[in-house]
Amino acid sequence: MKKSKLILTLFLCFFKIGAFTFGGGYAMLALLENEFVEKKKWLTKDEFLDMLAIAESTPGPIAINSATFIGYKTAGVLGSTFSTLGVVLPSFIIIFIISLFLDKFLTFTIVANAFRGIQACVVYLIGSTGIKLFKQMEKKALPLTIMSVILACMIIFSLFAIKFSSIVFILITGAIGIVSFYAKHNAKEETK
């Protein structure tokens, strides 16, 4: 396939995926797999799983990470640029239009009431996602300690209006991960 045609195909594929996946990253993965592993065979199953692991281990939305990765694999830097553009464009257009009307829309009492109901639901959605992730977590001493300490800090800080960036939490816990890894590593070396 000619490169320009390949890039156009990538753009259109990701545009389609970006336009039709509701419910965020993980819902998108099934579509990506179907499109690129099964139909087009541009990626093997193993490459797809590697991509997933990398997307989960790096910052940013999974959709963006996957588009950049698949685009690069298929057609280099230009491929990844157009894939990423394709996956972002549909939601950009939709949300931009919504942003122009949402405030006016909310001045209708009935709509505002609907959104008050929705707010309660969103609290549930966030909570249930947290609980799901907790269930998947390794139940060992260190992760459980990290989790409970940070959770307690977060709730206390917000109750008493203490400003504290959660980015600091990420960096501290990352450092703890590294220290504990090398501490274990050294302990193993010594017993040898």
Partner 1 sequence: MILLELFFTFFKIGALTFGGGYAMIPFVREQVLAHGWLTEEELLNMIAVSESTPGPIAVNMATFVGSNEAGILGSILATLGVVLPSFIIILIISALLKNFLKYNGVKAFLSGVRPCVVSLILGTAATLFLSILLGIGNNDFTLNLDILGIIIFAIVVAIATVYKKLKGKKPSPILMIAISACLGMIFYSIPF
Residue 36 or 69 having the CB closest to partner 1: 69
CB 72 within 8 A of CB 80: yes
Pairwise CA distance, residues 151 & 176, whole Å: 16
Minimum CB–partner distance for residue 44 and partner 1 (Å): 15
Residue 8 or 150 having the CB closest to partner 1: 150
Pairwise CA distance, residues 79 & 77, whole Å: 5
Minimum CB–partner distance for residue 52 and partner 1 (Å): 11
Residue 1 or 98 having the CB closest to partner 1: 98
Minimum CB–partner distance for residue 5 and partner 1 (Å): 22
Nearest Cα to Cα of residue 66 among 25, 109, 101: 25
Minimum CB–partner distance for residue 178 and partner 1 (Å): 4
Minimum CB–partner distance for residue 153 and partner 1 (Å): 8
Query: Over the range 53-74, which residues count as b (16 or more CB within 10 Å of their CB) and which as e?
Result: eebeeeeeebbbbbbbbbbbbb
Query: Over the range 116-139, which residues count as b (16 or more CB within 10 Å of their CB) and which as e?
Result: eeeeeeeeeeeeeeeeeeeeeeee
Residue 12 or 92 having the CB closest to partner 1: 92
